Amino acid sequence: MNLVLIGYRGTGKSAVGRILAQRLKRRVVGLDGEIVRRAGCGIPEIVARHGWPHFRDLESEITAAAAARDGLVIDTGGGVIERPANVEALRRNGRVFWLTAPVATIVARIETGTERPALTAGKSFTDEVAEVLARRAPLYAAAAHHTIDTADKTPAQVADAILALWQV
């Protein structure tokens, strides 16, 4: 069984995933990192050269491959839940934890990041996060077995909360 982390960028998936992998003595697989490794370039470059559909196709291939393995901590990209096949693959052999945070917290955590291109055109960063998060929230909720609010917690505290649910 895999432990799967989903949620918007900036909710702590990567940091929490590393902690969980260490505590559970498992390998952590960051799906975005695997995409970058396979493509040989960063996500903004993938999207600029080939568009979002191509990126999502790569994400689906890598998601299916990781989900078919066992005993991993899987740190997903924020949009993995946009394709039902990804959710089905992740849930088939995994327990899915949705990491949440309010828009203001997410913006504060990621506003200086450059690893992802804009998802909406002509909007402020805060408006983009709010719009995309509102659209994705029902998808995250439907995919998740458990929801963890990360707003006022350190990554270690989030990992503790996940482990308490994991071991039930």
Helices (H) and strands (E) in the chain, counts: 8, 5
pLDDT surpasses 80 at 118:
no
Give the CATH number, domain containing residue 22: 3.40.50.300
Per-residue pLDDT of 53-73, as tens digits, reads 999 999 999 999 999 999 999
Q: Are 166 and 16 in contact (CB under 8 A)?
A: no
High-pLDDT (> 90) share of the chain, %: 80
State the residue range of the domain holding 132: 2-166
Per-residue pLDDT of 6-29, as tens digits, reads 999 899 999 999 999 999 999 999
- Total domains present in the chain: 1
High-pLDDT (> 70) share of the chain, %: 92
Give the E-state strand segments of 46-160 in sequence order. 72-75, 94-100, 146-149
